[in-house]
Structure 1
Amino acid sequence: MECSYFDAGRCRSCTLMGQPHPVQLGRKDAHTRELLGPVPGLEWLAPFAGAERGFRNRAKMVVGGSWRRPTLGILDAEGHGVDLRGCGVIDPAITAALPAVASFITAARLVPYSVPMRSGELKHVLVTCNPDGQLLLRFVVRSEAAVEAVRKHLPALLRRLPQALIVTANLLPEHKAALEGETEVHLHGPETLPMPVGPLRLRLRPQGFFQTNTEVADALYRQGAAWVDELAPASVWDLYSGVGGFALSSAGPGRTVVGVEISPQAVEGAKAAALDSGVSGVDFLAADATAFAEGSSPREQPELVIVNPPRRGLGERLCSWLESSSVGAILYSSCNAETLAEDLRRMPGWRPVRARVMDMFPQTEHYEVITLLERAA
């Protein structure tokens, strides 16, 4: 894939831009093998590669320039806006909507936030799309006055952009480098964006987390479900269950699945997704994953645990619990192979028996890797 922004030096976010996709995959696969080291009997599956362009279902656009001529993209080293409305890795449904968003900023006179001047109202525009082209559109602003400006001019935007299923304003009044604030003001549409992923119909809330690449997320869940079905456990825990992708994919006849997620909003979305997807035998709890595991007795512990932690990994406490638990198998999905390797060093009683790189983030050094762990002999 080629990118005019990258070639011109305007954006270097995609550090592997211009390299053939198979070369990128080979590098990522080799990096993971090096980190995990030689493990006797470890089966490496071929890396999964989805589309190398138009794959990002979420765009985090920093707003710069002026309200008359806003930029949507990133900031340069001096804090000035760089417009990236034609970014090739973003889903076309999102890039097609950005001209209307820019016109809306002008109509509502939303002054872009200036980092050097520490002034202005509109910091970011966050857009998520589903496979049906429906959009979740969020304006990150600094004051209630800006929220009211968005509300006032919203009908005109919706007439031009009917695919905007949900519109919200997020309040971030502080002068700090953060993507969003804690307060979300719902302005239009339902509470959740439907996100069809294979046979599942997940539900995304404005401040919820979902995988950036829908196609690879589907492949990731399918791979996990295949390994779970092969092991045929009677009981499964999905720790860090998020919106429920792994938990719902792992359901089966006679099997109980419990998803544990610290976000109550994500848990409500996962419960709704279970109903929408017609999946039974799955329950979701709002709790800290480590505290939930540590509070269990051996009799309550499942036959298989799924973990899909943040980039920081599982940490010492959860690794220690898994090491001493009665769990029989672990399915570990990681977005950071370095912390995966670190967690494996903390759990010498476990060894990976299968691994597969999933190219969730083409054009960058990042990727997902899914591993199946069993008790070491």
Structure 2
Amino acid sequence: MHCEHFIQKRCSSCHHCMTDYAEQVERKDQQLKIQFSSWAHLDTDKGNDNESSSITWLKPVASADSAFRNKAKMVVSGAAHQPILGLPATQGKEALSLVDCPLYPKPMQEILIYLQDWIRRAGIPPYNVAKKKGELKFLLLTQAQKPEQYMLRFVLRSTQALPRIENNLAELQARFPNIQVISANIQPVHMARLEGDEEIFLTEKQSITETFNDVPLVIRPKSFFQTNPQVAEQLYATAREWVREIKPNHMWDLFCGVGGFALHCASPDTSVTGIEIEPEAIASAQYSANQMGLTNLSFAALDSAQYSQGQEQAPQVVLVNPPRRGLGKALTDRLEALAPPYIIYSSCNPDTMKEDIQGMSHYRLERMKWFDMFPHTDHVEAMGLLVRKS
């Protein structure tokens, strides 16, 4: 990927972008195999069981090397007469506009370029961290590609700048009618926190819909959503394929978010219970289930570990997709006790994934596949199939 910001040493977020992409994929593949295969070998040496600890590695899913990201999180800095969307000033470096970042598709770049000037014309003062003055802290733009729609969020220190936004919305919506959802999030705390609790919608519509594999997924302001849609589509399709091989009557989807895995894996023969702590995400998942006419899905806004503690038995398959910190000991211990025959583990952090699997000694990691959700970085999305040892 060609990036002038990286070449000129203004931004180093994509620290492998000058490496040939095929070489990046090969490096990640080898590193992940070493990380997990060496552990599997050690597990065999310890004599924990008589079953083979070898892992079947499936072909990784590569990404486009540019224009693959569907969400822009821009720090707003500079001054009211010259706002800058991108990276704030740091010691020795000036603030950097990233509205033309090659990670974003051209239509997103066009909106971001326009917004940077629109903020100036609207007279919305950027927040100054050092002086604790100003109003606009962040700008968050999310794209759904099927169909092409956008959600735009202004993260503000207070409601003081709301009239300036509202007075200039007609111009913005006339220029980009596919920006279907616009909201203001109020984050009054002076700290490195992306968003606050209060969301004020400035449009009648409050969500956009992305479609993966003919499954509609609702994106709302505070819902987690994968940032690389082409790769995410294949992640969900792979999970569905694995579940259909097992053919469970019932399964859990823990940390289900907006229901990406649950909605893909549900079938006339497989019912799914989805658990997610964020009520907004659960509302989105239930809406999608209703749209698809699925009646064998149930969703609940609960903590996954607490939910598991209240269950006397587990279904045949438990799918988990935790945040970067992993499952944690309480949940791994509970899964060990509940003893589902299969666990499908999807993770954006192979380090915590490996720790969690090591904490479940009654399971062997049978199959692994990884997805390059984050090109030009060291990060991957990995998915493994764990089988209960006989």
TM-score between both structures, scaled by the size of structure 1: 0.96
- Correspondence 1:13 to 2:6: no
1:89 aligns with 2:103: yes
CA shift at 1:245, angstroms? 0.4
CA distance in 1 between partners of 2:107 and 2:149 (Å)? 8
| Cα distance, 1:28 vs structure 2 | 1.7
Output the CA distance in 1 between the equivalents of 2:30 and 2:162. 48
* 2:233 counterpart of 1:218: yes
* Aligned 8 A contact 2:77 2:83 in 1: yes
Alignment match, 2:351: 338
1:62·1:81 contact (CA, 8 Å) conserved in 2? no
Distance 2:87 2:62 in 1: 27
Which of 281, 288, 300 lines up with 1:266 in the alignment?
281
Counterpart position of 1:195: 210
Residue 76 of structure 2 corresponds to 63
Unmatched runs of 5 consecutive residues or more in structure 2: 41-52
Choose which of 350, 368, 375 in structure 2 pairs with 1:362.
Answer: 375
1:44-193 maps to which residues of 2 (within 5 A)? 44-78=57-91, 80-131=94-145, 132-193=147-208
- Per-residue CA distance 1:112-152 (angstroms, 9 max, x = gap): 11223222111111000011321100011111111222122
Report which stretch shifted further, 307-316 or 84-93.
84-93
In the alignment, the residues of structure 2 paired with residue 200 and residue 280 of structure 1 have an alpha-carbon distance, to the nearest angstrom, of 15
Does the CA contact (< 8 Å) of 1:65 and 1:80 recur in 2?
A: no
> Does residue 1:251 correspond to 2:253, yes or no?
no
CA shift, 1:35, in A, is 2.3
Give distance in 1, aligned partners of 2:14 and 2:239.
28
Q: What displacement does 1:50 show?
A: 2.1
Q: Which amino acid aligns with 1:210?
A: F
- Quick one: distance in 1 between partners of 2:32 and 2:326? 15
Q: How far 1:89 sits from its partner (Å)?
A: 0.7
CA distance in 2, matches of 1:170, 1:213: 24
The correspondence for 1:279, drawn from 288, 294, 305, is 294
Counterpart Cα distance in 1 of 2:363 and 2:105: 39
Contact preservation (8 Å) 1:63, 1:81: no
For the residue of structure 2 that corresponds to 1:352, the secondary structure is strand
Identical counterparts, % of pairs: 38
TM-score of the superposed pair, with normalisation by structure 2: 0.93
Q: Distance in 2 between matches of 1:296 and 1:151?
A: 48
- Opposite residue 329 of structure 1, the aligned amino acid is Y
What is the CA-CA distance between 1:80 and the residue it aligns to? 4.4
Distance 1:352 1:283 in 2: 28
On the 8 A contact 2:29/2:60 being kept in 1, the answer is: yes
Question: Which amino acid in structure 1 is aligned with residue 20 of structure 2?
Answer: P
SS in 1 for 2:373: coil
Number of aligned residue pairs: give it: 375
